[in-house]
């Protein structure tokens, strides 16, 4: 045995079997308790559910197109895998590396009545297309006096922390687009929501953006109905009922909050109501406000930076609508007002420890 082999053997021997090692994921995935509709189901991860949704859209609509950077071979996250082989190069195809061009082409296609499903390879790179989406797609119906619209246009964009993405592959830009009348913006928490929301967006009368938390593509696994179904846009989901505090999040963060709710009950005997906002624009004001009026406290958590994150809109509305019911100020637990870091990602994200500390702060107020 040489020196390197001896060193490796020593290292292996010094790690006890019962020691917990750190993993890149900052959350424990919580699958939905039951499928959203009755019927046969299939075990899928999130990218498989998205693939099936696009398959259904292409099958049901002869005009439907899927396009974007590298989608022909399946895309970097494999969401469009096998679709070009099944539907041909004229319906599933690659585009140049030009997000503005992708969006502009998508708008033109949608205005002819075709179902356009355009992929932005990463949400971080959607900004070159910002003008096309915000000033063209969102306003087409209004400025044409309802003669034309982009109602058959859906953008897909992988977003959020992934453990190693750093500043150009980890951002959550939903708040930028939530300030734009004419758009709809949704964020799925897992395979069932991803499939249902994508199919709902494809059929919607307004242009839609689906921000897909990329860390969930493989980590999220559920029993998903094989048949087509739609999840309502603009409707939040109450995942856990409680009486003491309302926890609000979306995407990956909702799994952090579900774990935190269990920790709060065990450590503080605090009953948490957990709500997945699901839809950023429009958002479910009624469900949120009814919950906060019942619990008297609200904690909002998201990965995007604090300042002008979408949590600020929720907090302002809760303050306006629920002021006389509040037992403490509305608290936001978010990413910091810095570029998204690489090696310091664990300190940036609003993990369970920061969220649990926030709950304690609200209860002790």
Q: Tell me the average pLDDT across 197-209.
A: 97
Q: Tell me whether residue 119 is exposed, middle or buried, using C-beta atoms within 10 angstroms of its C-beta: 0 to 12, 13 to 18, 19 or more.
A: buried
Decide if pLDDT at 20 tops 90: no
State residue 231's pLDDT score: 98
19 within a domain of the structure (yes/no): no
Query: Tokens in use for 251?
Result: 């995407």
| CATH classification at residue 48 | 3.40.50.970
Q: What is the rounded CA–CA span in Å between residue 121 and residue 169?
A: 10
Give domain status of residue 49, yes or no: yes
Residue 34 pLDDT greater than 50, yes or no? yes
Q: Give yes or no: 38 in active site.
A: no
Strand partners, 42: 224
Name the band, by pLDDT with cuts 50, 70 and 90, for residue 45: very high
Residues 147, 197 within the same domain: yes
351/220 same-domain check:
no
- The CA-atom distances, in angstroms, between 266 and each of 258, 261, 269, 270, 272 are 13, 9, 6, 8, 11
Per-residue pLDDT for 122 more than 50? yes
Contact between 300 and 311 (Cβ < 8 Å):
yes
182 and 242 part of one domain? no
pLDDT (0 to 100) of residue 19: 40
* pLDDT at site 3: 40
Assign residue 259 the CATH number of its domain: 3.40.50.920
Q: Which of 203, 207, 206, 209 is nearest to 185 (CA)?
A: 209
Q: Which domain holds residue 168?
A: 42-225
pLDDT top residue among 150 and 335: 335
Same domain, 48 and 172: yes
pLDDT 10s digits, 137-194: 999 999 999 999 988 999 999 999 998 899 999 999 999 999 999 999 999 999 999 9
Q: Residue 24 — pLDDT band, cuts 50, 70, 90?
A: low
Q: Which of 69, 99, 230, 313 is catalytic?
A: 99
* Residue 23 domain-assigned (yes or no): no
Does residue 1 have a pLDDT over 60? no
* Predicted local distance difference test score (pLDDT) of residue 25: 77
Q: Is 99 a catalytic residue?
A: yes
Task: Identify whether residues 267 and 173 lie together within a single domain.
Answer: no
pLDDT of residue 22: 42
The whole-angstrom separation of Cα 116 and Cα 119 is 10
- pLDDT of 196 higher than 50: yes
Tell me which of 26, 69, 119, 169 is the catalytic residue.
169
Q: For the residues 281-300, what does the mean pLDDT come to?
A: 98
Claim: this prediction has a pTM higher than 0.95:
no
| Residue 10 pLDDT greater than 70, yes or no | no
Same domain, 175 and 92: yes
Q: Are residues 168 and 248 in the same domain?
A: no
Q: Inform me whether the pLDDT recorded for 320 exceeds 90.
A: yes
**Mean pLDDT (whole number) for 12-28:** 53
Axis-axis angle for helices 352-363, 253-268 (nearest 10): 50
Q: What percent of the chain has pLDDT over 70?
A: 93
Identify whether the C-beta of residue 278 lies closer than 8 Å to the C-beta of residue 194: no
Reported as a single tens digit per residue, the pLDDT across 237-274 is: 999 999 999 999 999 999 999 999 999 999 999 999 99
Q: pLDDT for 90-121, tens place per residue?
A: 999 999 999 999 999 999 999 999 999 999 99
Domain count, the chain: 2
Do residues 124 and 114 touch, judged by C-beta distance below 8 A? no
DSSP string, 43-77: EEEHHHHHHHHHHHHHHH-TT-EEEETTGGGT-TT
Q: Is residue 16 part of a domain?
A: no
Segment (H or E) for 154: strand 153-159
59 and 159: one domain? Answer: yes
- Where a domain ends, among 179, 197, 225? 225
Rounded to an integer, what distance in angstroms lies between the CA atom of residue 360 and that of residue 320?
24
Q: Which residue has the tokens 């708040």?
A: 175
Q: Are residues 214 and 291 in the same domain?
A: no
Q: Is the pLDDT of residue 234 over 60?
A: yes
């Amino acid at each position: 045995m040489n020196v390197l082999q001896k060193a490796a053997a020593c290292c292996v021997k010094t790690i006890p079997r019962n020691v917990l090692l750190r993993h890149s994921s900052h959350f424990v995935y919580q699958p939905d308790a039951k499928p959203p509709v009755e019927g046969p189901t299939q075990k899928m991860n999130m990218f498989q559910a998205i693939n099936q949704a696009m398959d259904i859209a292409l099958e049901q609509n002869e005009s439907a197109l899927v396009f974007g950077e590298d989608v022909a071979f399946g895309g970097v996250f494999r969401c469009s895998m096998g679709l070009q082989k099944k539907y041909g190069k004229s319906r599933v195809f690659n585009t140049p590396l030009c997000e503005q061009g992708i969006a502009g082409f998508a708008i033109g296609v949608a205005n002819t009545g075709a179902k356009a499903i355009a992929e932005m390879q990463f949400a971080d790179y959607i900004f070159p297309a910002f003008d096309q989406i915000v000033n063209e797609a969102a306003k087409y119906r209004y400025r044409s006096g309802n003669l034309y619209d982009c109602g058959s246009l859906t953008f897909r964009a992988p977003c959020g922390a992934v453990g190693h993405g750093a500043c150009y592959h980890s951002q959550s830009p939903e708040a930028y687009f939530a300030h734009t009348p004419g758009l709809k913006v949704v964020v799925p928490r897992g395979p069932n929501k991803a499939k249902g929301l994508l199919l709902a967006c494809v059929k919607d009368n307004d242009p839609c953006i689906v921000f897909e938390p990329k860390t969930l593509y493989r980590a999220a696994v559920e029993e998903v109905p094989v048949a087509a179904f739609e999840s309502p846009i603009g409707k939040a989901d109450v995942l856990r009922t409680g009486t003491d505090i309302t926890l609000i999040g979306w995407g990956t963060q909702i799994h952090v909050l579900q774990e935190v709710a269990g920790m709060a009950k065990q450590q503080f005997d605090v009953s948490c109501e957990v709500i997945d906002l699901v839809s950023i624009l429009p958002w479910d004001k009624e469900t949120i406000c009814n919950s906060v009026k019942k619990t008297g406290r609200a904690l909002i958590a998201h990965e995007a930076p604090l300042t002008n994150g979408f949590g600020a809109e929720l907090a302002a509305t809760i303050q306006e609508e629920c002021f006389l019911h509040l037992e403490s100020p509305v608290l936001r637990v978010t990413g910091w007002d810095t570029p998204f870091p690489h090696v310091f990602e664990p300190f940036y994200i609003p993990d369970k420890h920061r969220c649990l500390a926030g709950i304690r702060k609200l209860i002790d107020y």
